[in-house]
A and B are shown apart, each in its own frame.
Chain A
């Protein structure tokens, strides 16, 4: 670890905290339907869209209608992706002449993108056309991100409203998020990325004759426009197979730093939106503090482990850290930091191969996802995930003092706690359940690339990533098989929607409650005690659930590595 490495980490954290307030202010105005500086341009477009689609923007929805609208929206999104993938051979914008994508891979990819997971069983440059990248993947990058944000805002409205029957209008929330938040940032961001060296072209792959006379086919495409929303919307699905490690998808140290910022920017700002909507910004800062504690701890461990290297490298006298599967322009620190950010959020883009990380360095990304990606988290998804943990923490605190717990003026009762628990139980069910199948079913075992405990970790990571809608991988695992295409799709689907529905039920139930003023017996939820309590509950739930699995994978591998054992 170096001083300059830590300086990069500190600078990163400082900018994220500094961005939270102005972005939170702007986004709150957008969700409240107020005017913004972009309204003169965008308002006519917005109104036109509502008129054309038959949306009455004044009419709000009950939580159930809101949820059903969201689900209907995703049925359509699924059909579009599946359709263009199956038909890409006969559709335009296909200069590389890619053939139709297989049924199971198209199914997996469609589920992957509507759930904001962006797990890549396809190799971008070798499998899919520019049209699929744009119309299939870029469009769903926007809409699944906008959906996540809309749902988080609906849950926040549950807390902030009193005696209300409705939680907002899904169509309005999605449209406004797309038009006022995601698109304007992406337009500027795309140009920045192209300036840094990212291609943005519809032209053919380039045929080059190298300096030594060999032939090299260089894949290009409309990369920058997709990468911008891929990072901002915490989607993470790469244009290329190597994702953000590919020099075209992340050309410079600066592009890398800005990509890392854009993963956290909106998620961190949503904590401020929460504070503003419930009438006390300190409530938002307290939640951001919980995220910050867990984040910095994770970064420290991964950075230390990767800088330390492996015993194989040390035995050969190779110093400078574990550079297997990392790029020179990023080095150890920017690769470690990126890995922790991308898994803390539900982004899943990678700028280094997690499969080649040290045992402990690769365990932190795994833990980040298993905790529910509540450390900033996916845009929206992180916020509603964190609020579920807050409900549990408040409930535990209530049990300790024998008082009905309350949070930002709402009583937390049996219904909310049950729904929160239901949501959180999805994680172990899908992750541990499918991993158990994956390590005994012969066709699944054949997919492992590494032997020994690392092979187990590859399978555990795959189902963790899919259930958490992350999308990063221990990429040695051959995921494009019938077994993994279907099981991972089921994990992604359940991990997304079975978490959302109970969360929305909480939103509806909270909105209907009366608001009660704080009294002397109310636990203050803006101080260090509350932050410590939530961190503790998160770690205890995550630890109790996943420690045995981690012991079989990265922990035993670390011990084996120190004993000089290879597999």
Chain B
């Protein structure tokens, strides 16, 4: 048994150096050279400033923008660091609501949000993804139905024809991969950037 001590130490250190340092550092160099944009986090710049990542959702509250899904992410309470406060789309602390199917807190929140959305657009069914929080709290997407649902509000806020907005949603919608994998979706940040461009014309 004693002769197993040396491999237990030396082999561990060698394999640790290979898998824990050489491998991730080499991959960082190679990936950065081949796919520099993705490796940095798919950042979007506007006028030389980073306005976000194409993959990370951000909070939209203004009536003139399409809104993303509710987000349950938290941040440390500035007045008491042992507590946390709601901080939607906090991209430095991802997470979901973790409320279960029989949670009263969830039922109350859903009811409140559904009522609010119904008053905004009484003519369409409320899409489920627009009132449920995502798993990461950073979901960059909404369903095409959730985008179409918001068209009347934005048309009013921006004084734009609804048809223009509907076309914009349709042209920004991404389908399933090869028509099979995943779900159809609309990237909210991409949609709002396109919206600003169209509105500026």
Contacts and interface: CB of A to CB of B under 8 A. Distances in A.
Q: Give the most central of A214, A247, A324, A359: most B CB within 10 Å.
A: A324
B181 A254 contact: yes
A72 B10 CA distance: 12
Q: Give the most central of B5, B24, B35: most A CB within 10 Å.
A: B24
A201 B102 contact: no
Contacts of B27: 187, 190-191, 200, 222, 224-225
B92 A139 contact: no
Nearest to B104: A566
A11 B21 CA distance: 36
Interface string B163-201: 000000000000011001111010001001100100000
A256 B182 contact: yes
A87 to B, nearest CB: 15
Contact of A318 (B18, B126, B196): B126
A241 B51 contact: no
Contacts of B91: 216-219
Contacts of B151: none
Interface in B44-65: 49-62, 65
Given A241-B93, A241-B94, A319-B125, A557 B30 contact: no
B100 interface: yes
A551 B24 CA distance: 45
A325 B94 contact: no
Interface in A500-537: none
Contacts of A310: 101-102
A353 B49 CA distance: 34
Interface string B1-15: 101111111111111
Nearest to B176: A253
Interface residues of A, number: 127
A69 B51 contact: no
Given A138-B23, A327-B134, A246 B101 contact: no
B104 to A, nearest CB: 4
Contacts of A68: 1, 4
Interface in A383-441: none
B73 to A, nearest CB: 9
Given A76-B8, A218-B56, A242 B94 contact: yes
B11 A449 contact: no
Q: Give the most central of A171, A174, A183: most B CB within 10 Å.
A: A171
A318 B131 contact: yes
Given A178-B15, A328-B185, A353-B135, A212 B39 contact: no
A325 B98 contact: yes
B55 to A, nearest CB: 4
B152 interface: no
B15 A175 contact: yes
Nearest to A565: B102
Given A73-B8, A210-B52, A357-B101, A142 B19 contact: yes
A252 interface: yes
B102 A7 contact: no
B181 A567 contact: no
A557 B103 CA distance: 10
Given A206-B43, A313-B110, A318-B128, A247 B38 contact: no
A206 B28 contact: no
Contact of A216 (B58, B135, B142): B58
Given A7-B180, A197-B54, A316-B110, 10 more contacts: A73-B8, A135-B21, A141-B19, A191-B30, A206-B50, A245-B96, A251-B55, A254-B177, A353-B97, A557-B102
8 contacts: A175-B11, A211-B60, A247-B55, A247-B57, A248-B41, A324-B132, A328-B185, A452-B102
Interface of B: 1, 3-16, 18-21, 23-25, 27-28, 30-32, 34-35, 38-43, 49-62, 65, 69, 89-104, 106-107, 110-111, 114, 125-129, 131-143, 176-177, 180-183, 185, 189, 192-193, 196
Interface of A: 4, 7-8, 11, 49, 52-55, 65, 68-69, 72-73, 75-77, 80, 123, 125-126, 134-136, 138-139, 141-143, 171, 174-175, 178, 183, 186-187, 190-191, 194-203, 205-212, 214, 216-220, 222, 224-226, 229, 240-242, 245-248, 251-254, 256-257, 309-310, 312-313, 316-331, 334-335, 350-353, 355-359, 449-454, 457, 474-476, 557, 560-561, 565-567
